[in-house]
Amino acid sequence: MSFVNSFSKQLYAMMRTTALVLAGGRGSRLRDLTDIRAKPAVHFGGKFRIIDFALSNCLNSGIRKMGVLTQYKSDSLLSHIQDGWTFLNNNHMGEFVRVLPAQQRIDEVHWYQGTADAVYQNLDIIRAYGTEYVLVLSGDHIYRMNYSVMLMDHIRSLCPCSVACIEVPRGEASAFGCMQIDEEGLVTDFIEKPENPPAVPGNPEATLISMGIYFFEAAFLKEILEEDHQDPASSHDFGKDIIPKLVKRRLVHAHNFEMSCVRNRSKQQLCYWKDVGTIDSFWSANLDLTREHPDLDIYDTMWPIWTNATQLPPVKFIRDDNDNKSVSVNSVISAGCVVFGSEILNSVLFVSVRVDPECHLDQVVIFPLAFINRGCRIRRAIIEKKCEIPPGLEIGYDPEKDSRYFYVSPSGVTLVTRAMLERMKKDHPELFAGCARKEVGKLWPLLPDIHCLH
């Protein structure tokens, strides 16, 4: 009987929860990948967008009321959500994914001024759905998490605010909000992006950080956001302003990600959470998927990652005109790809990529609709959507040469975009004379233009 009562309470709490996904950031550390799209809309893992992980976690957790707060270059994000996330039952079950762009709802001067202000400008929507609990999420992290577990932990804590936390290597913690907690799980200190992150007691090599996942009592959130809105010294940000203020009042509970992490079916892997905010972290997170047993299991049918999936033919490997076989080792090759007599190692190819004969690709992430012409050698690189790499080009072997036209990251990952290739073409038109498309960025005729232009 107690189990039934506990389940009923959890079900009721989930039905009274609204999730707000913060998806309006510029993501400038991803450089050219966010020139035409918001960071949550960046492609990831062969067929997904980054935001699909937060939305899928909500759906799989039983939280079916979701608002996506957008602002910066949101066209492709809007298209992705409208095309791929309209299957929820709004009419009969009250389920939805609503896009909430910055609309100057409070006045006619300001757009969203910060993460807290973005939520403040949508408080009327929270009230409209009789919300008791508000889940505030970042839309640009990769992980699998059961938010219902965190919700019940939040309710048991009797605190009006809970923050999900995870330990990371201390040398990486400066990019996050760092926390210290007491024996009862109460947050005693919170420092946003400190130069010298505090160590976890007993483990000098690790720091406890905020994952940017918050549960609030709805009435309390309304009160604290209205207070923050009246503060002219505030930057109206959860990490910089709201959470530190609440910590000083001893009102923040720390939720350990170990409790709610959705692990692989083998249960042996570590809890996986990654901020893919830089070129290096984005590249490495994609390549994580090529391992035999990756910590992030996108093949787990019990916790699927939902997305907008266009109907495409299966991947195809073909011998080339010299009877050379196509070889793929430890790679993720998505639907619609065609590979002619080339070698692909430890790489992720998104949908509808074509690789012509005699190419060698190693540790390469290739976005949709890219075309790799004959004889290219590419390693440790990211190739943007619709790029056409000219025949025989080498990328990733000479950083100094690559940096003349492409971006080379601190760890030596080369980013290639269409704009970069256009600049190269102006200086070296002879390199592009053998291109199959004849024009950089023009779709090769055998494939449809899927999803949207961004």
Distance CA 179, CA 190 (A): 5
C-alpha distances out from residue 421 to 362, 399, 418, Å: 20, 16, 5
Distance CA 44, CA 80 (A): 13
* Tens of each residue's pLDDT in the chain, 454 residues: 455 567 788 888 888 999 999 986 665 778 888 887 888 989 999 999 999 999 999 999 999 899 899 877 667 888 888 887 777 655 545 677 888 887 645 444 456 678 899 899 888 878 887 899 999 999 889 999 999 999 999 999 999 999 999 999 999 999 899 999 999 999 999 999 999 999 998 899 999 999 999 999 999 999 999 999 999 999 999 999 999 999 999 999 999 999 999 987 665 667 899 999 899 999 999 999 999 888 898 998 999 999 987 889 999 999 877 777 888 999 999 999 999 999 999 999 999 999 999 999 999 999 999 999 999 999 999 999 999 999 999 999 999 999 999 999 999 999 999 999 999 999 999 999 988 764 444 444 444 444 444 4
C-alpha distances out from residue 454 to 247, 322, 367, Å: 40, 36, 11
pTM of the model: 0.91
Cβ(441)–Cβ(454) below 8 Å:
no
- DSSP per-residue codes, 238-281: IIIIIHHHHHHTT-EEEEEHHHHB---TTS-SPP-EEE--SHHH
Backbone torsion region of residue 84, taken as left when φ is above 0, otherwise alpha when ψ lies between -120 and 50, otherwise beta: alpha
C-alpha distances out from residue 240 to 63, 178, 383, Å: 27, 11, 35
Q: Kindly report the length of the chain.
A: 454
Helices 147-157, 2-15: crossing angle, 10 deg rounding: 100
Sign of CA dihedral 365, 366, 367, 368: negative
One-letter amino acid of 436: A
Distance CA 314, CA 435 (A): 25
Residues 6+ apart with CB under 8 A from 312: 335, 336, 351, 352, 450
Tens digits of residue pLDDT in 389-423: 999 999 999 999 999 999 999 999 999 999 999 99
Q: Do the bridges between strand 348-349 and strand 332-333 make them parallel or antiparallel, or are there none, so unpaired?
A: parallel
Tens digits of residue pLDDT in 223-257: 999 999 999 999 999 999 999 999 999 999 999 99
